Amino acid sequence: AGGGGPPSAEAAAEAAAKKEEQEEQRRLMLVSVLDPSARERLNRIAIVKPDKARSIENQLIQMAQRGMIKQKIDETQLIGMLEGIDKKADAGRTKITFKRRGGGSDDEEDDDDDW
């Protein structure tokens, strides 16, 4: 019984099966709290921004586990959640504004006849 070697094929298969089961539980939980239109919207978000969709899924699951969701969330409610998340993200983001200096006109920059 070696200790430091790579996991056996059986252990890897077991871990994969466990992960698949957890993903299925997540999916079932989301089906139970989201109506079809909200699920579709979340699926579209997952295509473009998988990390954001995962974060929203985690938040929904936590809310459901705490008993905070009394009825299925529809697309409008999901959009409201997304806007709230975006506002929080924007608040923590550094903003850089470029100010252009006055002076020369655009005509001077585009004039190639100066050679």
Q: How many CB atoms lie within 10 A of CB 5?
A: 6
pLDDT > 70 fraction of the chain, expressed in percent and rounded: 82
Q: What is the pTM of this model?
A: 0.64
Structural domains of the chain, count? 1
Classify residue 105: in a domain, yes or no.
no
pLDDT bin (cut points 50, 70, 90) of residue 114 is low
Classify residue 115: in a domain, yes or no.
no
Residues constituting the chain: 115
pLDDT bin (cut points 50, 70, 90) of residue 82 is confident
Classify residue 26: in a domain, yes or no.
yes
Classify residue 64: in a domain, yes or no.
yes
The pair of three-digit structure tokens given for residue 21, joined into one six-digit string:
């089961």
Q: Residue 88 is part of which domain span?
A: 14-92
Classify residue 47: in a domain, yes or no.
yes
pLDDT bin (cut points 50, 70, 90) of residue 103 is low
Amino acid at 26: R
Average pLDDT over residues 26-48: 94
> For 96, what's the count of Cα atoms within 13 Å in the CB-facing half-sphere?
1
CATH number at residue 51: 1.10.8.140
Classify residue 38: in a domain, yes or no.
yes
Inter-residue contact 91 to 65 (CB < 8 Å): no
